Amino acid sequence: MKRIKTLTLEEQQTVLDASRYAPDSRFRQRAHAVYLSDKSYRLDQLAEIFAVDRDTASAWLTAWDSVGLMGLRDRAHPGRPRRGIEADVEALEADLERAPQHIQALPVRFHERTGKSISLATVKRWLKERHWVWKRCRRSVKAHCNPALFEQGRRVLKALQDKEADGDIELFYLDESGFSSGVSGRVNVIGLMNSQGAGYFHPVETTVTSATVAEVMAGFIQSRPDDKLTVAVMDNAPLH
């Protein structure tokens, strides 16, 4: 009987969130199948629930066991993407004018708008043809740091870490990162992890906004036991 490896509590919550909130319906379906398999649903039951054949359902479980959450995404179709039409390039220019410091995000925004995947190199080539130029600027923020606020934050964090060491609280740290490849496209992941390695992770296929962070925090809160105070430390990004 085909079964996945037993999920940890964090993995259970991750695939459950993916089955509920992931933008792509096929991704939600596969994550749900993984969750049900962990709940002892047989392969023939999964095939019946999701109206697929046994081989398809089996491939989903194999992809999870071998790759994890990224294995549940659709593979990109072979062949080079078509050149964007004039309106697409104009939309890219508008995105760049609104946030010139976020050129790395342009391929993601292009995919959200058109459903097509392009590389950053292609975006730069299109913009160069329209006489755009850019340079990397490095500027230290050291001169703008408020020493008093920095020291206050350091003391607060040390106090929290001491309470964690004493077993009084659960202390988690939040951050966000993006992953991309030529096969699976780009996925943003918001995660919370503690010093023992326990974590809660939420994949997002769209741009991360403050509403996304609020949604992640709601899911994280529901996943935590109510017998101990949990503290989440975020960085100072505006969306946080």
29-70 pLDDT per residue, tens? 999 999 999 988 888 888 888 888 888 888 888 988 888 888
In the prediction, which pLDDT does 2 show?
67
Give the pLDDT mean for 212-239: 86
Domain shared by 178 and 123, yes or no? no
Domain shared by 30 and 66, yes or no? yes
Asked if the structure places residue 2 within a domain, the reply is no
List the one residue out of 63, 64, 58, 118 whose CA is nearest residue 89: 118
Residue 87 has pLDDT above 60, yes or no: yes
Asked if the structure places residue 42 within a domain, the reply is yes
What's the domain range around 223? 145-233
Domain shared by 125 and 84, yes or no? yes
Domain shared by 166 and 88, yes or no? no
Give the pLDDT mean for 210-215: 86
In the prediction, which pLDDT does 171 show?
94
Burial of 222 (0-12, 13-18, 19+ CB in 10 A): exposed
Instruction: Name the pairing type of β-strands 169-181 and 229-233.
Output: parallel
Residue 182 has pLDDT above 80, yes or no: no
Asked if the structure places residue 240 within a domain, the reply is no
Domain boundary among 138, 171, 191: 138
Domain shared by 80 and 111, yes or no? yes
Distance CA 61, CA 72 (A): 9
Mean pLDDT, the chain, whole residue set: 81
Residue 142 has pLDDT above 80, yes or no: no
Domain boundary among 72, 101, 123: 72
Domain shared by 225 and 159, yes or no? yes
Domain shared by 156 and 224, yes or no? yes
In the prediction, which pLDDT does 218 show?
92
Domain shared by 149 and 228, yes or no? yes
pTM of this structure: 0.44
Distance CA 70, CA 77 (A): 16
In the prediction, which pLDDT does 82 show?
46
As a whole-number percent, the residues of the chain with pLDDT over 90 amount to 18
Domain shared by 57 and 98, yes or no? no
Residue 104 has pLDDT above 50, yes or no: yes
Asked if the structure places residue 3 within a domain, the reply is no
In the prediction, which pLDDT does 163 show?
94
148-174: pLDDT as tens digits? 888 888 899 999 999 999 999 999 999
Asked if the structure places residue 4 within a domain, the reply is no
Residue 81 has pLDDT above 70, yes or no: no
Say if residues 50 and 29 touch (Cβ distance below 8 Å): yes
Domain shared by 228 and 156, yes or no? yes
Sign of CA dihedral 171, 235, 103, 145: negative
Asked if the structure places residue 213 within a domain, the reply is yes
Give the pLDDT mean for 187-201: 89
Domain shared by 40 and 66, yes or no? yes
Distance CA 179, CA 214 (A): 21
Residue 3 has pLDDT above 80, yes or no: no
Asked if the structure places residue 239 within a domain, the reply is no
State the pLDDT confidence band at 89, using cuts at 50, 70 and 90: confident
Structural domains in the chain (count): 3
Domain shared by 32 and 83, yes or no? no
Residue 187: partners with Cβ closer than 8 Å, 6 or more residues away: 70, 73, 178, 179, 180, 203, 204, 205
In the prediction, which pLDDT does 128 show?
77
